[in-house]
């Protein structure tokens, strides 16, 4: 198949999933075209069957906001026509699903039907999408997609609750590439971070409010009182400054390290004993799955899709939102019992294996085939 992928090219979960999916499909012989405003963060090396088309929106003094949607639509029309694409797969509804609809309409005028699959990732529904500023367009463009997928059952439920959705939403879970995410031997690293054999707790996020990094620090503060440990905070974002201030306030600067954005997260997960993700909303929690693939148990909140990944009392523990007391107690229980921790590490890996990229790719392929088949009927409906 010739597939066009539209996504945010940043380090965010949706961009990562879209890029890894495209690379995986290309490795299976499909021709994959990424159409984004910057080279996707995870698309750094040359790969056969992978193409990249950059969208550049023209600047003009009249534009207070450069019209990115129009530039993207024009680029998509061009790529679909000249690369002869079979399907467009857009990740994150805003604005990609709406732009794809416009592209479909433009091409329809030329007698060509391009099927569109939209993948919902979370904040495009649960946080931003339901905002009145976007909601009507989001609902419309989801209904106008030829296929819609969500990355968890929880996100499917939320989407159906928030919007009047006529389309069937198919759940295709996010995945893990075990060639990259597996437990590596990084003992020298561990000695540098925790020279006296301290336990290492880790959190990875974009430091937005929804990630509740303060809860991570509060949990750590409680664990630290009982067990010698260090905290690695990986990522960057709007909350980082205030979190650094909090660490100073509670006097734990020497025990908490802010590492900023890191490319080789797997190397840090390799030395971690526990992963903490107390999010206020999380449609899937790819960061938690990556930790589990590296044999790191997870302490999480029980919101959104997290209970579909983290299994209570097996791969980690889940608590009600903001219950840092319980999160800390569970962390202490795990970290003070080597045998239990080992068992949870093993369980975490077993659970992560259910989300192996190799099992998920055929699901997307089958879904694309189904959508392309249906496109004939959809084409008739559109021209009538």
Residues contributing to the site for ligand GMT (CB under 6 A): 12-14, 17, 92, 121-123, 151, 174, 206, 210, 281-286
Smallest distance from ligand GMT to CB 129, Å: 11
Minimum CB distance to ligand GMT smaller for 224 or for 275: 275
φ/ψ of 87, rounded to 5, equals -160, 150
Spatial contact of 145 and 117, defined as CB atoms under 8 Å apart: yes
Q: Is the Cβ of residue 31 or residue 283 nearer to ligand GMT in the bound state? A: 283
| Long-range CB contacts for residues 68-73, cutoff 8 Å, separation at least 24 | 68/37, 68/95, 69/95, 69/98, 69/99, 69/102, 72/6, 72/35, 72/37, 72/96, 72/99, 73/99, 73/102, 73/103, 73/106
User: Would residue 177 be called left, alpha or beta, if left means φ above 0 and alpha means ψ between -120 and 50 degrees?
Assistant: beta
Q: Select 284 or 317, whichever has its Cβ closest to ligand GMT.
A: 284
The burial class, CB within 10 Å (0-12 / 13-18 / 19+), for 197 is exposed
Nearer to ligand GMT, 176 or 271 (CB): 176
Measured from the CB atom, is 198 or 316 closer to ligand GMT? 316
What is the Cβ-side half-sphere exposure of residue 225, based on CA atoms within 13 angstroms?
9
The least distance separating ligand GMT from the CB of residue 41, rounded to whole angstroms, comes to 11
CA distance 156 to 121: 10
Query: φ and ψ at 319, to 5 degrees?
Result: -135, 165
The least distance separating ligand GMT from the CB of residue 305, rounded to whole angstroms, comes to 6
Count the neighbouring beta carbons within 10 Å of the beta carbon of residue 382.
13
Q: 3-state class of 258 per DSSP?
A: strand
Minimum distance from residue 313 beta carbon to ligand GMT (Å): 22
* Preceding peptide of 38 cis, ω within 30°: no
Instruction: Report the nearest approach of ligand GMT to the CB of residue 285 (Å).
Output: 5
Smaller CB separation from ligand GMT, 207 or 224: 207
CB of 119 to ligand GMT, least distance (A): 8
Closest approach of ligand GMT to the CB of residue 152, in Å: 8
Comparison of 123 and 351: residue with beta carbon closer to ligand GMT? 123
């Amino acid at each position: 198949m010739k597939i066009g992928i539209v996504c945010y090219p940043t380090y965010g979960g949706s961009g990562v999933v879209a890029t890894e999916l495209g690379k995986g499909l290309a490795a299976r012989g499909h021709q994959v075209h990424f159409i984004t405003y910057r080279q996707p963060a995870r698309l750094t090396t040359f790969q056969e069957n992978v193409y990249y088309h950059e969208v550049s929106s023209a600047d003009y003094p009249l534009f207070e906001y450069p019209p990115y949607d129009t530039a993207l639509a024009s680029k998509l029309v061009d790529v679909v026509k000249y690369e002869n694409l079979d399907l467009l797969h857009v990740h994150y509804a805003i604005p990609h699903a709406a732009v794809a609809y416009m592209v479909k309409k433009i091409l329809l005028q030329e007698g060509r039907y391009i099927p569109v699959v939209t993948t919902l990732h979370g904040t495009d529904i649960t946080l931003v999408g339901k905002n009145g500023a976007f909601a009507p367009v989001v609902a419309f463009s989801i209904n106008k997609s030829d296929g819609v997928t969500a990355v968890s059952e929880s996100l499917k439920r939320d989407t159906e609750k928030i919007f009047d959705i006529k389309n069937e939403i198919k759940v295709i879970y996010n995945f893990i590439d075990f060639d990259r995410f597996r437990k590596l031997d990084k003992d020298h690293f561990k000695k540098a971070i925790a020279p006296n054999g301290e336990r290492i707790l880790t959190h990875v996020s974009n430091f937005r409010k929804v990630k509740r990094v303060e809860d991570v620090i509060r949990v750590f503060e409680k664990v630290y009182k009982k067990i010698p440990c260090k905290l690695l905070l990986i990522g960057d974002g709007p909350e980082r400054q205030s979190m650094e201030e909090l660490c100073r306030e509670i006097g734990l600067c020497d025990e908490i390290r802010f590492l900023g954005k890191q490319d080789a997260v797997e190397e840090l997960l390799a030395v971690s004993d526990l992963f903490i993700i107390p999010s206020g909303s999380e449609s899937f929690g790819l960061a938690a799955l990556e930790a589990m693939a590296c044999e790191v148990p997870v302490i999480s909140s029980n919101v959104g899709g997290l209970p579909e990944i983290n299994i209570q009392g097996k791969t980690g523990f889940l608590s009600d939102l903001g219950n840092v007391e319980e999160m800390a107690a569970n962390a202490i229980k795990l970290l003070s019992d080597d045998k239990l921790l080992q068992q949870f590490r093993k369980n975490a890996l077993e659970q992560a294996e259910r989300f192996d990229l190799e099992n998920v790719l055929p699901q997307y392929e089958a879904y694309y085939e189904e959508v392309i088949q249906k496109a004939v009927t959809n084409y008739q409906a559109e021209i009538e």
